[in-house]
Amino acid sequence: MNKIIWMYWHQGFDKASPVIRPCVQQWKNLHPDWEIHLLDQNNVQEFTEPLAIKQKILDKMTLAHRSDLLRTQLLIKHGGVWADPTCFPLQKLEQWLPENMQAGFFFFYRPGRDRIISNWFIASEKDNMVLKTLYNELIAYWNNHNFKNLGRADTAIEMRFNQLINRNLILPKLWFTFLFTKILRTYPYMVYHFMLYHLISKDKDIKAQFEKMPKQSARTPHLLQNAGMMKSLNTDIKSIIDKRIIPMFKLNWKITEKEIPHNSNLAYLFNQSNHI
């Protein structure tokens, strides 16, 4: 796998949340021999091709859904690692990632009852077959349907559909049926995650590759966020940081406090970063 780390902040990293800067610096500290590309709306085209989606559709797509396609295209074209800028590494990639790359790609596994993977961190070899299939299916999905909820907030009825359908791994496949794509003409926010499971369910080659991927829980990186980033230092969180038990934390960039409390979980993480 190419030793490249990709990160993206649409407005530019100089305008990012205070949570982002320490995360990016930690990636640099731990990976001095990796290429680290900090991308934004002005330079991402240096590494990607224009998304092959009709302009009137692309203009209405959320930044999150466009970012899903950009990260996948980057990994197909160049390989390496995609990390959301809110990922704070505790371990060097060399310490844990190679043994998890048997499938040629890696996602953290089962963040919730309805999703088989998280996509805030993805590792992949260049030209990976699974990512190429996923990317092409997503491009076709956006191009071939005229969704009513594109570019606007969901209605109460659409939100109710999400509550009813997004209960397990199986039911979200309904989003790709004629009923939802052509009659109701509505799509789910987690379309990337649901599409991957949809492909695993119907394509034996993709299923075989996915089964080769070691299953590392997507929930453990959220432990600090779940404990409360701004809450007083938790002894379990302190132990994880001190012993570097897990590969990384997934943080939240949305903070309302003007300053990070000095005795908080987040402050301890950032203060200890020089020792990690």
pLDDT along the chain (276 residues), means of 10: 95 92 95 97 96 96 97 98 98 97 97 97 98 98 97 93 95 97 96 98 97 97 96 96 96 84 94 72
What's residue 258's pLDDT?
A: 75
245 part of a folded domain: no
Range of the domain at 97: 4-215
What's residue 1's pLDDT?
A: 81
Q: Report if pTM > 0.85.
A: yes
107 part of a folded domain: yes
Tell me the three state secondary structure of residue 110.
Answer: strand
What's residue 259's pLDDT?
A: 82
Structurally, the chain folds into a number of domains equal to 1
What's residue 216's pLDDT?
A: 97
222 part of a folded domain: no
What's residue 275's pLDDT?
A: 57
230 part of a folded domain: no
Q: What are phi and psi of 154, to 5 degrees?
A: -65, 145
Instruction: Give me 198's structure tokens.
Output: 């949809």
252 part of a folded domain: no
232 part of a folded domain: no
68 part of a folded domain: yes
53 part of a folded domain: yes
Cβ atoms within 10 A of the Cβ of 56, count?
A: 9
Tell me the three state secondary structure of residue 42.
Answer: coil
